[in-house]
């Protein structure tokens, strides 16, 4: 394969193929049509590799989605809005069941809009720690559980969702486990 036909596994397969084909056509025009058969063979090989990567990527996305949705603990993803505030991007079923909120209703909302200023303040502090450090944070946060007469502590693991190069956080993820459940298993 020509060293000029390279693609990054983290690019969508369609873009990778397009880049490869553009490179081949650029080479054909630069070198003349005599090199076209060899280059078309490279495109076929590139297409096979893209198909393999697409299949792997599709499986990985399906597994990640299943893992997130079927996790027995509340899990969420937040993205930073244009206003600089963290907004709910996705909630799993456990989050909806335990906290009594709907992803459809709360998608795009801030923690303050959902939980109120006092609770949102502690969430935001930990979200920013994760975002700035690009490292996971495990902490204890007060949460409002559906049907509970008062706020309860949960152990919360928050983590950055980074671009493939690891340089930029694009989202914050989190998993919440009731402290009482952890204590039950420790005794």
pLDDT given at position 150: 81
Question: Would you say residue 151 lies in a domain?
Answer: yes
Same domain, 40 and 77: no
pLDDT higher than 90, residue 12 = no
Q: Are 86 and 79 in contact (CB under 8 A)?
A: yes
CB 144 within 8 A of CB 74: no
* 144 vs 29, higher pLDDT: 144
| More confident call, 29 vs 170 | 170
Same domain, 54 and 82: no
Pair of tokens at residue 92: 């799993």
* DSSP 8-state code for residue 169: E
CA distances in angstroms from 175 to 24, 37, 39, 107, listed in the order given = 46, 53, 49, 17
Per-residue model confidence (pLDDT) at position 156: 92
Mean of the pLDDT values across residues 80-103?
88
Q: Answer with the one of 67, 85, 102 that is the final residue of a domain.
A: 67
Residue 83 maps to a domain: yes
Instruction: Taking residues 9-24, report their average pLDDT.
Output: 44
Domain that holds residue 43: 13-67
Of the given ranges (20-24, 71-75, 135-139, 182-186), which has the lowest mean pLDDT? 20-24
Model pLDDT for residues 146-173, shown as the tens digit of each residue: 777 788 888 899 999 887 777 777 889 9
Residues 109 and 182 in one domain: yes
Q: Model-level pTM greater than 0.75?
A: no
Q: Which two tokens stand for residue 115?
A: 């939980």
Angle at 71 between CA 111 and CA 68, to 5 degrees: 70
d(CA 11, CA 3) in angstroms, rounded, equals 18
Can you tell me which residue has the tokens 């949102």?
A: 120
- Tell me: do 56 and 122 sit in the same domain: no
Instruction: Give me the number of domains the chain comprises.
Output: 2
Asked if 53 and 125 sit in the same domain, the reply is no
* 175 membership: H or E segment, kind and range: strand 169-178
Confidence band, pLDDT 50/70/90 cuts, at residue 113: very high
Q: Are residues 89 and 126 in the same domain?
A: yes
Residue pair 130/160 in contact by the 8 Å Cβ criterion: yes
Decide if 179 is inside a domain. Answer: yes
């Amino acid at each position: 394969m020509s060293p000029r036909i390279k693609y990054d596994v983290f690019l969508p397969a369609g873009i990778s193929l397009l880049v490869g084909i553009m490179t081949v056509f650029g080479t054909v025009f630069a070198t003349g049509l005599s090199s076209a058969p060899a280059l078309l063979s490279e495109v076929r090989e590139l297409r096979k590799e893209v198909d393999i990567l697409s299949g792997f990527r599709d499986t990985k996305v399906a597994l990640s989605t299943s893992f997130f949705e079927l996790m027995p603990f509340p899990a969420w993803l937040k993205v930073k809005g244009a206003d600089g505030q963290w907004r709910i991007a996705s909630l799993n079923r456990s989050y909806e069941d335990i906290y009594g909120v709907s992803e459809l209703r709360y998608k795009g909302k801030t923690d303050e809009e959902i939980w109120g200023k006092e609770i949102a303040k502690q969430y935001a502090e930990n979200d920013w720690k994760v975002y700035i450090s690009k490292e996971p944070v495990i902490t204890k946060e007060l949460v409002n559980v559906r049907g509970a007469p008062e706020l309860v502590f949960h152990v919360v693991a928050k983590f950055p969702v980074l671009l493939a190069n690891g340089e930029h956080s694009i989202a914050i993820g989190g998993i919440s486990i009731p402290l009482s459940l952890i204590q039950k298993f420790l005794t």
